[in-house]
Structure 1
Amino acid sequence: MFKALKVDHIGIAVKDLEQAKKFYTEVLGLQAMGEEVVEEQKVRVCFIPCGDSEVELLESTSPDGPIAKFIEKKGEGIQHVAFRVENLEAALATLKEQGIRMIDEKPRYGAGGASIAFVHPKATGSVLVELSERK
């Protein structure tokens, strides 16, 4: 059995990363902590820490990327909620034993050097849930 340790971050799909950052930095007074392109996910991300968690702004780098498709279908907004786990491999094994439908059967690279895996929204009441392990 595994346990989610905390909300690691909330992923927010945006059309324009620079414009979106302004609200969090200029209005809410938070500080953006750099940007990264994750080529395999066709996304440019910016993490904005807030207390013990972060906001992850996600801008697609390609019209056929998952974030572009999300925005096309649902518009800009919350795309996923990520929970920190201590041992992602063990968490995935437990979920598999429980018959939980997954998008990722094994960990993959996530922004910020995290190991991540997504649970299918059909298993979570339509919420895209990410599990994240950070070293």
Structure 2
Amino acid sequence: MALELSIHEITIAVNDIETASKTFGGALQGTIDEVQDFPNEGFELKMGGVWIGDFHIAMVNDPSGVGPVGKFLSKRGEGIFEVNVRTNDLPAAIEHFKSQGLRFINEEPKVLKNYDAGHGQVLSELRIAFVDPRSTHGVLIEVAQWVD
């Protein structure tokens, strides 16, 4: 099986999810998501966004200010936080990125069960690994394999 890679989502760290979603939704004629809370270990994460066809622009905020998004907003202000790359084979994708000189924050995939992927699609499993932004010119890349 040949390795497949595609950009699925761009995540933007914002101060106000509703306002940013309206801006992008109106300008790009997209469908605006409801804002959801995602419980994490030690910090808050809120996410909304806009669907343009099958492509998603996620808007995220960390009201606690202590998680990765909160730290990003404090240091850099609003902007692109993450690019989400979808793959059919996460171990092969990790090896591919490493062969290109990229480093990973976690080579052992994080596995999320019963993950809500949006648009009414719930995955039995989402496997993710993160490319270290120091090896990608400051951009965090999430590499994800969806398991239906």
After TM superposition, is the score higher than 0.5? yes
Matches within 5 A, 1:2-17: 3-17=3-17
Distance 1:72 1:44 in 2: 16
- Give 1 or 2: higher helix fraction: 1
Q: Which has the higher contact order (CA 8 A, sep 6+)?
A: 1
Distance 1:97 1:29 in 2: 37
- Give 1 or 2: higher strand fraction: 2
Task: Specify whether residues 19 and 47 from structure 1 end up closer, same or farther in structure 2 by C-alpha distance, changes over 3 A only.
Answer: closer
Give the SS at the match of 2:32. Answer: coil
Q: 1:125: how far off? A: 2.8
TM-score after normalising by structure 2: 0.75
> Paired residue for 1:103?
105
Q: Can you list the C-alpha shifts for 1:37-59, whole angstroms capped at 9, x where unaligned?
A: 22226311124222342101111
> Paired residue for 1:57?
59
Q: Count the aligned residue pairs.
A: 134
In structure 2, the gaps of 5 or more residues are: 118-122
Q: Can you list the C-alpha shifts for 1:8-39, whole angstroms capped at 9, x where unaligned?
A: 10010011111111112233321023443222
Seq. identity, %: 31
8 Å Cα contact 2:4-2:89 kept in structure 1 = no
Q: 1:122: how far off? A: 2.0
Task: Specify whether residues 115 and 38 from structure 1 end up closer, same or farther in structure 2 by C-alpha distance, changes over 3 A only.
Answer: farther
> Paired residue for 1:74?
76
TM-score after normalising by structure 1: 0.81
In structure 1, the gaps of 5 or more residues are: none
> Paired residue for 1:91?
93
8 Å Cα contact 1:45-1:111 kept in structure 2 = no
8 Å Cα contact 1:63-1:69 kept in structure 2 = yes
Moved over 4 A (4+): none
Q: Can you list the C-alpha shifts for 1:73-96, whole angstroms capped at 9, x where unaligned?
A: 11101111111111223323x158
